[in-house]
C-alpha cells in the first residue's frame, strides 16, 4: 500500500494512473475504521483498478470542538485494516497540509442545509463542503464512495459536486449495521457497555415507525419514536423527522407516491448518534 501525506503527491499519483486508462475510486474517511468503511472500500475495489482511502479528521465541520478533540484516532489499527482489505493508497495529511491558510469559503446549499443536521449543527455542512472539495481536488478519482448513514451529508455532497461541476461520480452505499441493528459508527466505541446494550432501540424505533407510517398520522409516529427512546436513561432524541427522500422537506401526512426517509439524531449522554431508514 502506498502512503501519502502531501496533496500534490497523491494528486500526481492518481493522475499518472488515469493517464494509463486506470479507473480510480476514492473513499474519504475520518479514520477509526469499521466494517461500514470496509464495505465502501470493497465496493470501490470491485469497480476500479485503484482505490484511495483518506484519513483526515476535519476540524472545520465540528461545531463542538470538544467533540473534535474526542474523536477516535487509531491510525496504526486503521493502516493494518487497509492493508488487509487490499487498499492501494492511504492519503493521511495533517491539518496544516489541508489548511495551510484559514478557509473562509462560504457555500450555499439552500434548503438542504437548513433542516435536521444543518439546524442543530450550524456551520457543519460548510465545513463538510470545505474538506470534500479539497479532498476531491487532491484525489481526482472518477468515483467517490460515501455511506448512506450520513443521509443528509450525502445529499449535500451530491449538490456540491453538481454545483461546482466536479468530474466525479458520487456513489452512495447502504448503511452497515451491527448484528443487533445499531448503525456502525466510529462514535459507538465511546458508549459505555450499558449504553451500547440499549443503543439498538434507535433502529428498533425506526423500524416500528416504518410499520406505523401507512396507518398513523405523522405526529403520532414522531411522538412514539421520541418517547420510546427518551424513556431510556441518558438517551435524548435531538430530532426525528420524516422527509421526502430527495428534497429532504418534511412530510406532514403519509404519501404513497413519494420516496420517504426517516432521519434521527440521538444523544447518549455526550455521544451523538445518527441513523435513518427508508420507508419507501
Q: Which of 173, 196, 228 is the last residue of a domain?
A: 173
Same domain, 136 and 161: yes
pLDDT at 182: 98
pLDDT digits (tens, 9 = 90+) for 185-223: 999 999 999 999 999 999 999 999 999 998 899 999 999
Res 63: pLDDT? 84
My answer on whether 35 and 67 are in the same domain is: yes
Summarize pLDDT for 221-280 with one digit per residue, the tens.
999 999 999 999 999 999 999 999 999 999 988 877 679 999 999 999 999 999 999 998
Do 108 and 221 sit in the same domain of this protein? no
Total domains in the chain come to 2
pTM for this structure?
Answer: 0.95
Per-residue pLDDT tens over the stretch 4-30: 999 999 999 999 999 999 999 999 999
**For residue 257, what pLDDT is reported?**
66
Beta strands 2-4; 235-244: pairing state: unpaired
Q: Are residues 100 and 10 in the same domain?
A: yes
Asked whether residue 240 falls in the same domain as residue 213, the answer is yes
Q: Cβ(68)–Cβ(62) under 8 Å?
A: yes
CATH number at residue 224: 3.30.1300.10
Query: Which listed residue (34, 37, 74, 252) is catalytic?
Result: 37
133-190 confidence digits (pLDDT tens): 999 999 999 999 999 999 999 999 999 999 999 999 999 999 999 999 999 999 999 9
Q: What is the CATH number of the domain that holds 73?
A: 3.40.50.620
DSSP 89-149: EEE---HHHH-SS--------GGGGTSTHHHHSTTHHHHHHHHHHHHHHHS--SEEEEETT
* 14 & 132 share domain: yes
For this structure, is 49 an active site residue? no
The answer on 161 and 108 residing in a single domain is: yes
Q: What are the residues whose beta carbons fall under 8 Å from the beta carbon of 7, sequence distance 6 or more?
A: 93, 97, 98, 134, 137, 138
Q: Are residues 53 and 120 in the same domain?
A: yes
Same domain, 152 and 85: yes
The whole-angstrom separation of Cα 21 and Cα 126 is 34
Domain match, 61 and 140 both: yes
Q: Give the model confidence (pLDDT) of 74-131 as tens digits.
A: 999 999 999 999 999 999 999 999 999 999 999 999 999 999 999 999 999 999 999 9
Residues in the chain: 280
100 and 164 housed in the same domain: yes
45, 161: one domain: yes
Q: Between the CA of residue 176 and those of 35, 91, 235, what are the distances in Å?
A: 7, 24, 22
Q: At what angle do helices 75-85 and 35-47 cross, to 10 degrees?
A: 40
- For the chain, the maximum distance between any two Cα atoms, rounded to a whole number of angstroms, is 58
Q: Domain range holding 42?
A: 2-173
Amino acid at each position: 500500500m502506498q502512503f501519502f501525506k502531501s496533496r500534490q503527491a497523491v494528486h500526481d499519483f492518481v493522475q499518472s494512473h488515469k493517464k494509463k486508462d486506470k479507473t480510480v475510486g476514492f473513499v474519504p474517511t475520518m479514520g477509526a475504521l469499521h466494517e461500514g468503511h470496509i464495505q465502501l472500500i470493497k465496493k470501490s475495489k470491485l469497480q476500479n483498478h485503484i482505490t484511495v482511502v483518506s484519513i483526515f479528521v476535519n476540524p472545520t465541520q465540528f461545531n463542538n470542538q470538544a467533540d473534535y478533540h474526542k474523536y477516535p484516532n487509531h491510525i496504526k489499527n486503521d493502516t493494518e485494516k487497509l492493508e488487509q482489505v487490499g487498499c492501494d493508497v492511504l492519503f493521511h495529511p495533517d491539518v496544516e497540509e489541508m489548511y495551510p491558510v484559514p478557509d473562509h469559503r462560504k457555500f450555499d446549499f439552500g434548503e438542504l442545509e437548513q433542516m435536521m443536521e444543518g439546524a442543530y449543527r450550524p456551520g457543519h455542512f460548510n465545513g463538510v463542503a470545505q474538506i470534500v472539495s479539497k479532498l476531491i481536488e487532491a484525489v481526482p478519482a472518477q468515483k467517490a464512495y460515501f455511506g448512506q448513514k450520513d443521509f443528509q451529508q450525502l445529499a449535500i455532497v451530491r449538490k456540491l459536486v453538481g454545483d461546482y461541476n466536479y468530474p466525479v461520480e458520487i456513489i452512495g452505499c447502504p448503511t452497515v449495521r451491527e448484528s443487533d441493528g445499531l448503525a456502525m459508527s466510529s462514535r459507538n466505541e465511546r458508549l459505555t457497555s450499558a449504553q451500547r446494550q440499549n443503543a439498538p432501540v434507535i433502529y428498533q424505533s425506526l423500524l416500528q415507525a416504518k410499520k406505523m407510517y401507512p396507518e398513523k398520522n405523522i405526529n403520532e409516529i414522531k411522538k412514539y419514536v421520541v418517547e420510546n427512546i427518551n424513556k431510556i436513561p441518558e438517551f435524548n432524541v435531538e430530532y426525528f423527522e420524516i422527509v421526502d427522500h430527495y428534497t429532504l422537506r418534511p412530510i406532514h401526512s403519509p404519501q404513497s407516491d413519494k420516496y420517504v426517509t426517516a432521519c434521527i439524531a440521538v444523544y447518549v449522554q455526550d455521544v451523538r448518534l445518527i441513523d435513518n431508514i427508508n420507508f419507501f
